[in-house]
Structure 1
Amino acid sequence: MQQYLNLVKDIFENGTWQDNRTGVRTLSIPGAMMKFDLQQGYPAITTKKLAFKSAIGELIGFLRASHDASTFRDLGSKVWDKNANENLQWLDNPYRLQEDDIGAVYGVQWRKWPAYKLIDLSMKKSIDQIADAKARGYQQIGLINHTQAGEKGDCVLLYKAIDQLRQCLDTIMSDPSNRRILFHGWNWAQIEEMALPPCHVLYQFLVNQTNKEISMCLYIRSNDIGLGAPFNLAEGASLLHLVGRLTGYTPRWFTYFIGDAHIYENHIDMLQEQLNREPYSAPKLVLSDRIPDYSVTGKYEPEWLEKVEPSDFSLEGYCHHPQLTASMAV
């Protein structure tokens, strides 16, 4: 994890103090990148103990499109508790339904992206457009009368919940050279319906058919380097391993892009202590034999995106320094 420590040093040496919504200042730099060869090991932080079980629990909650902090707790991750029940802006939000509700965050966007089509019936090809949309799974949910607004013509409104991640796997199987195998979580129409707008916003899979390898790029708009980055690295690498298992490719390069890379003021002591510690060798991620390996079975089983459990992920050879803790800014 020397790359991680180098980034921490860069922020300490070149960052500037910035104010933000949390009220806790950050030392920040614009633009950063880390790249990991997963064949050389899993990018688990070793200068403190990684909350591996919690990170995996959060990832599985995303895979199940959970919008409730209690689901994440049941999976072994308490990371959404504060944003669900202590974030004052969210507590006053009319879209918050009940205790533990976190809204349309990550997994909802990953697995149930709300897609709408508004087709003008006065247009020449409207019938063909409606037929095509329905053939691709859209359902008609309404008819809008524009004449009431002083305009001519009516429009048909259609809706479909898009499973972006499943589409990625399907495309890896059917068209692996495609350069559009990606999913994202930034939805302007639903930002106000989330306890926290997504930080890791865009994932792209890239397949090397020659070497039978799969790589992934992750773009994070805003990254808390002290607490968030270790979690995001673990989740991203684990997701790539899972996708590789289900599609028959070996995980290779994990490239991690950051927009705003920052250290919270109350995390400085923790990170300075880590810089004084010598990192250990990277561990290995082991997936349970329970998860089908397409390269062995030849059977495509994408439903395992929802069937995996926290116990299906483990680290082999993970050596780390003593645990360090710090408060998350909400």
Structure 2
Amino acid sequence: MEQYLTLCRHIMENGVEKGDRTGTGTKSVFGYQMRFDLAEGFPLLTTKKTAFRLVVSELLWFIKGDTNVKSLIEANNHIWDDWAFEKWVKSDDYTGPDMTDFGRRAANDPVFKAIVDEQMEIFCSKIVENAQFAADFGDLGPVYGRQWRSWPAKNGETIDQLQKVIEQLKTNPDSRRHIITAWNPAEVDDMALPPCHAFMQFYVANGKLSCQLYQRSADVFLGVPFNIASYALLTHLIAKECDLEVGEFVHTLGDAHLYANHMEQVETQLARTPRSLPTLSLSNEKESIFDYEIEDISIEGYDPLPGIKAPIAV
């Protein structure tokens, strides 16, 4: 994954300091592209451990068209919790300790972090145990899964972009219209987080399927390793259903940034030497991308260096 480390170095050396929505501050570059030959191994970062199980459960959540954190929490995946939690603590229903700016405050105050963790545990329990609470506070609005599987059409019906692209790949692989977009201007303001990985296009040549992703905003330390693995996995899953080999994953970034409170972690990672890439294993019993469960997807030969913790900017 030297491509990823090169991106980190590029931002450290050439990025400009910018403010941002979270108030954390970033070092940023605009317009960057990485290419990964998926035949050379599965692009899961080895210079720090990346939780592949979380990548899988999140992608399957998108594929199923789900937008509520309930199923993610039940799968012990908490990467979207903060946005749903924020919805709860800003509501009139919340009566606990003040959670204003909880992300940054917790990162700098261990005592406050313990309070946040306690409230987060209460929140997750309520989401799983109380259907009405999950409906009120677990739904993130029309985020990725809604746009991929149920894009609202002007006639009142919906468009299943993912299913349509798969059908097109099978029947007209040379088309230049194999496109899925998550950026819906009519609904973006209703989303807990507007889509960062916003637009993808698939391409078939020499019996191989490639995918190019345009990502408008890229949290390079925390988010991008997940994004690379997620869309590489999506490419593998679609290729398998369409009886194609895998080609490249091309990752095009708009605003690629490192948060100011991730700089030490990036330096630690850049001092490490990458290890061999793992391989992906998919169940042969599944014929459709829509049939996969977490246990049907695994990684083999993954020997990463230890994980590096960093706070998330909400």
Instruction: Name the TM-score, length of structure 2 as normaliser.
Output: 0.84
Shift of 1:244: 0.4
Find the counterpart in structure 2 of residue 104 from structure 1.
142
Q: Provide closer, same or farther for how the CA distance between residues 91 and 8 of structure 1 changes in structure 2, counting only shifts above 3 A.
A: farther
User: Which 5+ residue runs of structure 2 have no aligned equivalent?
Assistant: 93-133
> Do structure 1's residue 328 and structure 2's residue 312 form an aligned pair?
yes
SS of the residue corresponding to residue 31 of structure 2 reads strand
Find the counterpart in structure 1 of residue 182 from structure 2.
185
> Do structure 1's residue 316 and structure 2's residue 311 form an aligned pair?
no
Structure with the larger helix share: 2
Contact 2:262 2:310 in 1 (8 A): yes
Structure with the larger strand share: 1
Rg bigger for which structure?
1
The structure with higher relative contact order (CA 8 Å, sep 6+) is 2
SS of the residue corresponding to residue 279 of structure 1 reads coil
Pairwise mapping of residues 63-82 of structure 1 onto structure 2 (< 5 A)? 63-82=63-82
Pairwise mapping of residues 127-138 of structure 1 onto structure 2 (< 5 A)? none
Q: Distance in 1 between matches of 2:256 and 2:301?
A: 29
Overall identity of the aligned pairs, in %: 40
- Letter of the 2:280 partner, please give it: L
Q: Distance in 1 between matches of 2:207 and 2:35?
A: 19
Q: After superposition, what is the alpha-carbon deviation per residue over 1:209-260, rounded to whole angstroms, capped at 9, x for unaligned?
A: xx21111101000000001100100100000000001000001111000000
Equivalent in 163, 166, 170 of residue 169 of structure 1: 166
- Letter of the 1:274 partner, please give it: Q
Q: CA RMSD in A?
A: 1.6
Contact 2:211 2:235 in 1 (8 A): yes
> Do structure 1's residue 247 and structure 2's residue 285 form an aligned pair?
no
Q: After superposition, what is the alpha-carbon deviation per residue over 1:65-123, rounded to whole angstroms, capped at 9, x for unaligned?
A: 1111111222342111001112589869xxx961212110001000000010xxxxxxx
SS of the residue corresponding to residue 245 of structure 1 reads helix
Q: Distance in 2 between matches of 1:55 and 1:49?
A: 12
Q: Distance in 1 between matches of 2:52 and 2:276?
A: 16
SS of the residue corresponding to residue 320 of structure 1 reads coil
SS of the residue corresponding to residue 157 of structure 2 reads strand
Single out whichever of 311-320 and 214-223 deviates more from structure 2: 311-320
Q: Distance in 1 between matches of 2:36 and 2:225?
A: 13
SS of the residue corresponding to residue 5 of structure 1 reads helix
> Do structure 1's residue 259 and structure 2's residue 254 form an aligned pair?
yes
Q: Distance in 2 between matches of 1:90 and 1:194?
A: 16
Q: Distance in 2 between matches of 1:160 and 1:70?
A: 26
Q: After superposition, what is the alpha-carbon deviation per residue over 1:33-59, rounded to whole angstroms, capped at 9, x for unaligned?
A: 110000001110000001110111110
* Runs of 4+ off more than 6 Å: none
> Do structure 1's residue 229 and structure 2's residue 213 form an aligned pair?
no
Shift of 1:324: 0.9
User: Which 5+ residue runs of structure 1 have no aligned equivalent?
Assistant: 117-157, 293-303
Q: Distance in 2 between matches of 1:109 and 1:181?
A: 15
Find the counterpart in structure 2 of residue 55 from structure 1.
55
